[in-house]
Every structure is written in C-alpha cells, then in structure tokens.
Amino acid sequence: MRIAFVCLVSAALATAEIHHNPGSTVPLPPEKYIHVVSEADSPVQQTYIKSKDGLYIAAAIRKPKRSGRNPAIIIFHGAPGGRGMEQLVGWSRGDWGGPVWERFLQEGYVVAVADYRGGNMNLTSAPSADGMITSIDDGLAVIDYIKALPYVDPDRINLYGVSLGGNLVMNLVSRVPVHAAIVGAPAVMWFLGIRMPPPGSPPNPDAFKNLKPDPEISRKNIEPIRTPVLILVGTADRLMPVAIMLHDSLEAAGKSVRLDIYEGGYHDFCLGPQGQKRPDLPQGEALFDSALDALEKSVRFAAGKLN
C-alpha cells in the first residue's frame, strides 16, 4: 500500500507540470503596455555580432537605467531568419503592440532582440553533419557576446524563443546551460527529429497530431540539458501537439519543464502583436489577456519564482 501511495503521489507531481489556463479572445488595447520605457533612459543599441563563419548577426539591445551587472534575456523571433535591424529595433520598443520586450526591461533585465540567418530551414534549424554553419552557431555567438558585456551578469542569462526561435532556443540549451529558457509555440520539429509531411502535401490543420519524435535525435538533444524550460502554447495553435511532445520528452528524461496551455491562444500569441500580416487570424494579431498572463508567468519563471 505504501509503494502504491508513493507511485500515485509521483504521478500527480509529474502531471502537475501541465497547467491549463483560461483565455479570452477579446482584443485588449496595447497602448497601456507599450512605450513604457523612455529611450532617453534606455536607448536602443544597434549591434552586429560576428558569427562563426564571419557573418554578422543583427541584435537590438536595451539595458535598464541602473549600474552594476544585470540579468539578461535574449529573445529570438520566429521564422524566417534574417529579419534585419529595423524589425528588431521596432520589437525592442514595442512599436507594434507587443509588451514582452519592454516588460523584461522594466524588471531590470538587459533585453537583446536577436536575429539569426535565414535560408533553407531544414538545413539551418538542426546541427549540421558536414560542418555547415547554422542558426545554432549564430545563437551561440549572440550568447557569448551578451555574456561578455560589462553590465550583464553572466550567471543570469535567460533565453526566450517563439516558433522557429523556440527550436533555436532548445538547440542552444542543449549546448550551453543558461539560467532559464522560455519557448512559446515552439516549432521544435528539428530539435525532436519529427519527420514533416512531404512538400506539396495538402493543408491539414491536424497535420502535427500523429507525428512522432525520432527517439535517437530527441535523446541526443535532450540528454545534455541542465536548464529549466517553460513552454507556452495556445489551443488555437496547430503546433500544440508539438509543444506537448516537447514537454513529455523532457519530462521523461527527468528535465525541469513546465507547460502552460492557454484557451484560444493563436500561434505565438504570447508575444502579442508583432507587426506581421496574419490572414489566418480573423482579428489579425491581437493582444489577449492570455498573453499578459503568460508574460507574468515568464517574468516569474526567469526570476525562479514560478511555483
């Protein structure tokens, strides 16, 4: 009986790491949550970081108005790579209505909005077997650069990646430990070795439901991870099954992981409006209450205070 009780308690603790959250699809006015940090206090530093092969990666960096070494968060956007400096600067200021970047700045974080190379995603989104330089090399170069800044605490580097940026973040924490990692609607098909439907397949909203991770690729990528991971996804996102696969794969390997699912959240809802055309969304990109709740959880998670 005691053994059975312990097993039941263990199972309860494991399943408690998936949290289901309500969410409204009524848009909120973003003006209350953006342009809240003056550029006089925190100017955008337009920076170009040299990657492994000499390619320069754009990054927009803002630091809080205080002395000493500060925690940092590096945010990697979704596909495609190669957005360029203008887009990164706009995100760092919240110009299109997304509150995430400025909120971390308000919390005392150095915020680096980083780019990575574009091109064929199947080639650049996974480690190369033939020495080809990939977006993973770009991400590692960005981490090294931010870690070396005199106003950054190198022991409190955090990563945040959305969609394809989530795949990049997972590949990065497989190689270097950081303080915490947050992935929103992570397109981790390459990280988990999920075989995609062949090119030219008809559109299918349920295409990801029956796909499976490659056991050996998943094991190889997950085994080295020592970083706690927070996963955010919405029920209106067809990649939700992939987010659940990521959670389950990390949990099965004994990693520190939490998954928060939000009712009605669209793909990458957690960043709010990003200035992108979204014909797939009836209301276009919108700021929902679920995005604000996910942001609060993200801030607490990066601080080690999310229970």
Residue 262 three-state SS: strand
Cα distance from N-terminal residue to C-terminal residue, the chain: 30
Instruction: For residue 27, give both structure tokens.
Output: 């848009």
**Residue-level pLDDT at 280:** 86
Q: Does residue 3 surpass a pLDDT of 60?
A: no
What are 104-129's pLDDT values in tens digits? 999 999 999 999 999 888 888 988 88
What are 209-251's pLDDT values in tens digits? 888 999 999 999 999 999 999 999 999 999 999 999 999 999 9
How confident is the model over 9-24, as a mean pLDDT? 65
pTM above 0.85, yes or no: yes
| 304 or 209: which leads in pLDDT | 304
* Structural domain spans, the chain: 18-302
In order of 79, 244, 269, 275, the CA distances from 290 in angstroms are 22, 18, 8, 19
Residue range 18-302 in CATH 3.40.50.1820: yes
Q: How confident is the model at residue 203 (pLDDT cuts 50, 70, 90)?
A: low
**Taking the mean position of all CA atoms in its chain, how far away is CA 283?**
23
Q: Check the CA dihedral 57-274-250-71 and report its sign.
A: positive
Distance of alpha carbon 272 from alpha carbon 266, whole angstroms = 10
Q: How confident is the model at residue 50 (pLDDT cuts 50, 70, 90)?
A: very high
What are 78-90's pLDDT values in tens digits? 999 999 999 999 9
Q: Does residue 32 surpass a pLDDT of 80?
A: yes
| 195 or 192: which leads in pLDDT | 192
